[in-house]
């Protein structure tokens, strides 16, 4: 398989990788941007190949094992487990999780 060219007309370019990294709050070294763009373009190429597979007449499946899903009553309930769930929290206050501020 030949190495894909990077550029906006062919898929992901280095600038797009930079933007994705910034949005993901990931630090990516400048010299890694083009190789990462090449890798992402390769992955996108494989995904495009999946679109070429003829699946006419193939029933969709949710599992490789044929089994019935267990059903439960469709009743609204809060579960009454708040204290049990909050027992796992590093910090809680008045029945809520306390998390660090993420936006200044």
User: Is the pTM of the predicted complex or chain greater than 0.95?
Assistant: no
For residue 29, being part of any structural domain is answered with yes
Q: Is the pLDDT higher at 16 or at 61?
A: 16
For residue 66, being part of any structural domain is answered with no
For residue 31, being part of any structural domain is answered with yes
For residue 88, being part of any structural domain is answered with no
> CA-CA distances (angstroms) from residue 94 to 54, 78, 79, 91?
55, 17, 18, 11
Total of domains in the chain? 1
- Structural domain boundaries, residue 4: 1-53
pLDDT band of residue 10 (cuts 50, 70, 90) is low
pLDDT band of residue 44 (cuts 50, 70, 90) is very high
Report how far residue 97's alpha carbon sits from residue 93's, in angstroms, rounded to the nearest whole number. Answer: 7
For residue 41, being part of any structural domain is answered with yes
pLDDT band of residue 56 (cuts 50, 70, 90) is very high
For residue 30, being part of any structural domain is answered with yes
> Would you give the end-to-end CA distance of the chain in angstroms?
46
Q: How far is CA 47 from its chain centroid?
A: 15
For residue 6, being part of any structural domain is answered with yes
Strands 96-97 and 92-93: antiparallel
Q: Is the pLDDT higher at 48 or at 8?
A: 48
For residue 27, being part of any structural domain is answered with yes
Q: How far is CA 62 from its chain centroid?
A: 19
Contacts of 98 (CB under 8 A, 6+ apart): 89, 91, 92
Range from 48-57, 63-72, 79-88 carrying the lowest mean pLDDT: 63-72
């Amino acid at each position: 398989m030949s190495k894909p060219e990077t550029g906006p007309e062919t898929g992901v370019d280095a600038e797009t990788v930079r933007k994705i990294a910034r949005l993901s709050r990931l630090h990516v070294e400048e010299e890694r941007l083009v190789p990462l763009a090449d890798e992402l373009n390769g992955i996108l190429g494989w995904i495009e190949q999946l679109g070429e597979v003829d699946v006419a007449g193939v029933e969709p499946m949710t599992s490789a094992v044929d089994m019935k899903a267990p059903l439960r009553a469709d009743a609204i309930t809060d579960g009454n487990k708040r204290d049990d769930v909050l027992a796992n929290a590093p910090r809680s206050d008045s029945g809520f999780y306390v998390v660090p501020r993420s936006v200044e």
